[in-house]
Copies of this chain bind each other. A is one copy, B any other.
Amino acid sequence: MTRQPPAPEPLEARLVQAEALCARRGARLTKLRRDVLGLILASPEPVGAYALLDRMREQGASLQPPTVYRALDFLMAQGLVHRLERLNAFVGCHDDAPHDHAAQFFLCTACGKAEEVDDPAIAEAVAATAARRGFAPLRATVEVEGLCAGCALSGSDRGGSSTSPDGPGPHRPHSH
């Protein structure tokens, strides 16, 4: 039980998919960029740029902040990763064919996980309000903090080890 495989197989598949996507666009998913993307996709939680830096270095690479940020810029431009403003962190896009799309995020303050959703109703509500004000939107940041389904259950329904064995706690709530 030294490591459990949450999703080790789809990772490579997603990398291959990303490669194909970039190739189709004439963009170059270099080894560095691919490695960074791999680390992001492998992480169960959003990753900060400096955490990525550390992990790359642990893997033998020798690089500096600008290199990681450039890779992140590329990946964001390709829509392969999103930036979470509240966390100063990055997550892989869950879309099958990533592009520059409107997305919303639900961030659990207990377990630290980020769920990406693409809800047209939210996007439309925002667009409608913008239109009403004569505002021309370019991109919208929607990030909701709270408790995910699992943590909300184990938090209120004390004693019931229904879905998630360990309750909320271990994660630092990220004060802000």
Residues of A within 8 A of B (CB): 83, 85-86, 104, 106, 108-109, 115, 117, 119, 121-122, 124-126, 128-130, 133-149, 152-153, 176
Contact = CB atoms under 8 A, between A and B. Distances in A.
A50 to B, nearest CB: 17
B85 A141 contact: yes
Number of copies: 2
Given A86-B85, A122-B129, A125-B122, A144 B135 contact: yes
A144 B137 contact: yes
Contacts of A125: 119, 121-122, 124-125
18 contacts: A85-B85, A85-B141, A104-B129, A109-B138, A121-B125, A121-B129, A122-B122, A122-B129, A130-B146, A133-B149, A134-B152, A135-B144, A135-B147, A136-B146, A139-B145, A141-B142, A141-B143, A142-B142
